Amino acid sequence: MKATGIVRKVDELGRIVLPIEMRRTLDIAEKDALEIYVEGSSVILKKYKPSCVFCDGIKDITIFKGKNLCPKCLRELKAM
């Protein structure tokens, strides 16, 4: 993990602000979804990228009945 030297306080609603420079560097825009992970005593934020429920592919994802599917897995399901 790389230290940034940036310190932010959590407000009364549990929010923190990510500085604009960090958001620009990481290509995080307003309304982008972030995934929250916990590793030991650390909280890790990652930009959310929907992936296929079967193969974890992230290209050309289609949502079918609330599940994310890539074109390859979708073709395989249709062939069944």
**What is the pLDDT averaged over residues 18-34?**
94
For residue 69, which of 46, 80, 48, 77 has the smallest C-alpha distance? 77
Overall number of domains in the chain: 2
10-47 CB burial, b ≥16 within 10 A, e <16? eeeeeeeeeeeeeeeeeebeeeeeeeeeeeeeeeeeee
- Does one domain contain both 60 and 37? no
pTM of the full structure: 0.63
- Does one domain contain both 3 and 42? yes
For residue 76, which of 55, 56, 59 has the smallest C-alpha distance? 55
Q: Please give the backbone phi and psi of residue 68, each rounded to the nearest 5 degrees, phi first.
A: -85, 130
**Residues of the domain holding 76:** 49-80
pLDDT mean across residues, the chain: 92
- Does one domain contain both 43 and 71? no
The model's pLDDT over 40-68, given as tens digits with 9 standing for 90+, comes to: 999 999 998 889 999 999 999 999 888 99
- Does one domain contain both 2 and 26? yes
- Does one domain contain both 1 and 39? yes
31, pLDDT greater than 80: yes
4, pLDDT greater than 90: no
